[in-house]
A and B are shown apart, each in its own frame.
Chain A
Amino acid sequence: MTTEAGSETEVKENAEESAAPPDQSEQAKQESQEVANAEGEEKGKEKEKDGKKITRYLPTWFKKQKSQSQTSPTKDVQPTEEPASKATEEEEGPVPEVNGHAEDVEEKEEVKLEQVKEAEAESHSNASTDTEPAKEEKVEEGAERSSDETKKTKEAEGGEEEKKEKEQVEAEGEGGDSQTSIFQSPLRLVRKTKMKVVVCHVALLDGTDFTCEVEKRAKGQYLFFKVCEHLNLLEKDYFGLTYKDNHEEKCWLDPTKEIKRQIRSNNWQFAFSVKFYPPDPSLLTEDITRYLLCLQLREDVASGRLPCSFVTHALLGSYTLQAEFGDYEPEQPRPLDFISQLTLASNQNKEMEEKILELHKSHRGMTPAQADLQFLENAKKLSMYGVDLHHAKDSEAVDIMLGVCANGLLVYKDRLRINRFAWPKILKISYKRNNFYIKIRPGETEQFESTVGFKLQNHRSAKRLWKVCVENHSFFRLNAPEPPTKAHFLTLGSKFRYSGRTQAQTRLASSLIDRPAPSFERTSSKRISRSLDGAPVISITEAGRDMAENGREPHLELHSDSKVKEPDLSPGDVEGVPSQSPGCSEPGLPQSRLRVHGDNIYVRHSNLMLEDHDKTQDEVLKHQASISQLKRSFMEAPPPSPPQPNQWEKRLTSSPASIRVQQQQVVGAPQTEAASPDNTISKPKEPAKTTEVEIEETVVIQEVSKAAKPGLVTVTIASDAEVDAPPAEEQETQQDSAQVEEEVAAEEVQQGKPESVSSESESEDEAEYQPEVSVSISQTQIPEEKEEEEEPEKDDRDKGAEEQVSALEVPSLPAELSHPAEETIQEEEEEFRKEETDAEEKTAEKEKESERETEESTEDPMVTPDEAPDSPTPPVETVAAAASPAPAEEEEEPKVNGEASLVEVEPRPQVICCSEPPVVKTEMVTISDTFAAQKTEIATKEVPIVHTETKTITYEAAQLDGNGDGEPGVLMTAQTITSESLCTTTTTHITKTLKGGLSETRIEKRIVITGDCDIDHDQALAQAIKEAKQQHPDMSVTRVVVHKETELAEEED
């Protein structure tokens, strides 16, 4: 965090100071670096130096990037830090998970990991160096966070600031060293302070209030993590936050959405409660978790939500007494009112109190933890344990209650259970307006499935019930990480799907908890005069924090170790971790954190790479051989026209074309640039919201400025005119397209893309969910009204693509091709800077792609570079892309997407690049270990990518003029898969360099994954690595950088 924060601040400062001449900025840089080192905040001087060296060669434009990249090393090293910082800075929503838990811990882990890596490979040296400092910084940050929310707020300013920063940076352009500038000016801080912070009041289970400040745009996760951190709770997946909506209805706070948009009021009051009641509390790992569950159940019993008999009530009360007060002391009989308050029996009377005392006597010697366990063992047997009741009417307008629980859906009339639908029997859950439907699997003797409908009070309650059903089904019914994990793409960003871990996952994760049992104080209700320490509340809080820190460390360490040592173990972890929910519990964190590391992955394929040297001679030889082949094929292929790509680049850079893309650029680009000097795959998390047009526009401007500054001139020149025109159109088109997409999605029920569906459903008050579908995401159909059954996803894909195309009638929708139906349609755009390289790459890519295509039915519409230049109009290209689902040769023809997806636009300082074929991601890959990924195979699961828009943008890599070596042929292929929530850009650089008669070919692949907060970085990363590995077995992952960025336009809401 700290490092990032620092860097950001620096950037901002720079921006502010942008007026300052570049020279000064450089000086400042050095100074700043020194300072940083001194402080330990800066990661590694070496890196910076390296960066500087590189920067010298590179145009100012690149320099900027590099500078950022320098900053990034910390990020790379400590992915966790970044996330945390991001979270704080921007929208903490997605990131918060990581951050929220134990930032410190994560940092530590990361550090360890880094060290290990270093040991393994020298190549990582930079990272390693950075790492340690980063640790320190992180720790500091953590402290700061806890103490100073102001920082957060400042950082939280988020998107706007970032934009500003970016702009500034760009403006400085030459200033290359953005970092330096940052240090100089405190302005940024000031700005940050401006950020809107809201004070949240969270009612905890022990009756105390937890107050914390969050950025106004923070997502539910962030707050939830803050609370869990405060409670020192690791097994947090069973819990959630609730709020009262405008109608005084209790709603669950969606961790993946902004808080503000959910509560829709200025009443930032929340309650921490149990969301999923574990059927067997004895399986919980930690006593503190059981304690919290007890607190919830006490309240449930007292309030009557959990009805129980007199005897049971008394028994539970007696356990409560034992847990809170210890053994019964005859000489000091407690006043009955005491007990009554404690047990809170709604119908409490003296008889009950006497019974409680009587039972209490029998618990002598029982420890608090044992008493809690006994409490739970009795409570769990209650028939209404964990049943969430909703008022409804049946088809005959009779008042009933629908109870959602771990096993399914229960129907009550009064107190009588009159029907029950176990999850396995439910094929689909849907709601339309105020109607709630469940489709029942036909019985053995029945031929047809039946649909049962219930009427709820209003559409809100129907939706609420539906959501609860979806979540409960996902949590309890889906054991494997399957749906959540794999569904990843589909699920990301969708509000309708359960984003957290399933019970199976959380159990797995908690089994990994290895911290000493945290000590916590049991607070009896405030009314009770006798408390253990007098001021239970305060003490608790403090204790909790302390505990958290202490506890986390060991835990984290273990994880890191395990990962490093045993990559095999990781798979399990990964599954557990897949945690779509950032908030995922800490137990899993270690893994997740590791994965998270970085958005940026730097893959080096060639041994020649200056930096990498892990490979053995054999490997090198192989590699060379493969490279030579690539060259041949490349040569044979028709050379692309260099100039055109340039135009495209400009266009991309300058044009705001696709909103989504722009966002990515805005958010992701700057970071990416900064983060990865060499080339890394950066996965900035962006809130992909089409809505925010203004912001995008701003971004565009920035980009333009960037383009102008750097020496990239050659590339951009020709295309300017073209470029200018398109942007406006593109924007419009984009918007249109977005709409179209939504419509399409709606139409395509079967495709069942969670995200699209979810969005629709919310807006339309309708949604469907098919619990039955086993593992695959596809199972759940979100389509609104349509009750279509699952169709083969593949078919859907094709259909979807076609449909989309048709839908796209408007030519202007190029970028927006959305393949809601299936998985994602990916378009790849490739630009060739240099013919030779390009040619080689093309061939290579073609080959690879073709292979992939064969493997994957998904088509990536490729636009030939030639075409691209010809047809500046994005729409056409897009159409083509969309239309060409035909596996055809995406690669054969490196095409530039007319869409001009800005995504890749970011100038990359990469010097030598060997282009690798763009990979279409059809499958989701789970990486057990992020780091291990390099050496370990990544398991892939086929995950249909749901509503994704694929845009391919080709841009020319900045020419490495600085190197001035013979012909730096750089072929770049950019592949962008865009979904509402996720965007993946793969850029491949192939550089052929002649040095002293020796030709070096470097293939650098940079994968930028941009997405919503919801994105599962780990998965995306894993997939990316997997793909890369498939293509280049020898490749090594040099860098992984994770960037978090804030949403720019949140105010809209």
Chain B
Amino acid sequence: MAVVAAAAGWLLRLRAAGAEGHWRRLPGAGLARGFLHPAATVEDAAQRRQVAHFTFQPDPEPREYALETQSPLPRNFEMGQTQKMNLFQSVTSALDNSLAKDPTAVIFGEDVAFGGVFRCTVGLRDKYGKDRVFNTPLCEQGIVGFGIGIAVTGATAIAEIQFADYIFPAFDQIVNEAAKYRYRSGDLFNCGSLTIRSPWGCVGHGALYHSQSPEAFFAHCPGIKVVIPRSPFQAKGLLLSCIEDKNPCIFFEPKILYRAAAEEVPIEPYNIPLSQAEVIQEGSDVTLVAWGTQVHVIREVASMAKEKLGVSCEVIDLRTIIPWDVDTICKSVIKTGRLLISHEAPLTGGFASEISSTVQEECFLNLEAPISRVCGYDTPFPHIFEPFYIPDKWKCYDALRKMINY
């Protein structure tokens, strides 16, 4: 689209020309209802629409996280006033809180001004002004480069990359600039107030360029933090921690959960600590580790294991990919003796390999079976084959069964 012509601003009010709109119908307009015969049966239609491979489970209350105003952590604290929010709304809430209390905070990226393609920034430009919530050109290298620049001056820079699949033009900026800024300057300078947010993970039909989970590329880069929430409540607390963290952070948001996951989330700001994994279900026989959407898959696998095999699983959400919480994982494996790690990203070089390698170093004599990794295949993320590609509950269950019988 010619930006110049469209944005020229000369919006003339013209009367419609003669009625010949036949070939020029506006999208979706004008076709008679039932022009396309609807799917033959309800079942056919349902089968065509892919059924989700997971079921979102909100955490039970109460939770042990500090509201910003409270410290030290009370055992059962008051969450304060909460509101039912889905994942994109919990992100909006975190951003709203940030812009309210930090006058240097700005949000920028492609299409964020009107609210964002996933609605994470709805209402923020109206509330905080165009100087604080603004669009950038279609240029990921520029988005991150610009973010690093203003972070160096001390502003809180919250950048959005529209899909994690498109983060790669910014890879040089992230790896060679952002991650190394403090180190190379001898701590004279840093861009710690930079946070990059980006939709992440499979969504049912995203194929090669709307489904990727690139956390492993960034895990190999000392100097940045990589964080992935499993739920709206986690997302808000973790995102606020990323924004306030004194190091550049990448916050990947599971796009399939934007609308599918909803739960009560505090309206006021609160923090969930980074680099702390969470044991969301205690167990004694097997440790299951995942992050993001996949946490809900392994949670279900834990139920299946209990029901079908009488096996008790400890389920851990890693939450921060780097720097990762080695202690929590190892403590669990020392207890259970078996570890299964699962992620959508391809197997080879995926983050499960790092976890596996460290755990076998630290817990070798505690292991009852080889560590199991259930991951995506070593291919680009396919479109029509997605149901076969993803590490679904059946593949995880099967791997678990083999570990138990080892």
Query: Are the chains A and B members of one assembly?
Result: no
Binding site for B on A (CB under 8 A): none
Binding site for A on B (CB under 8 A): none
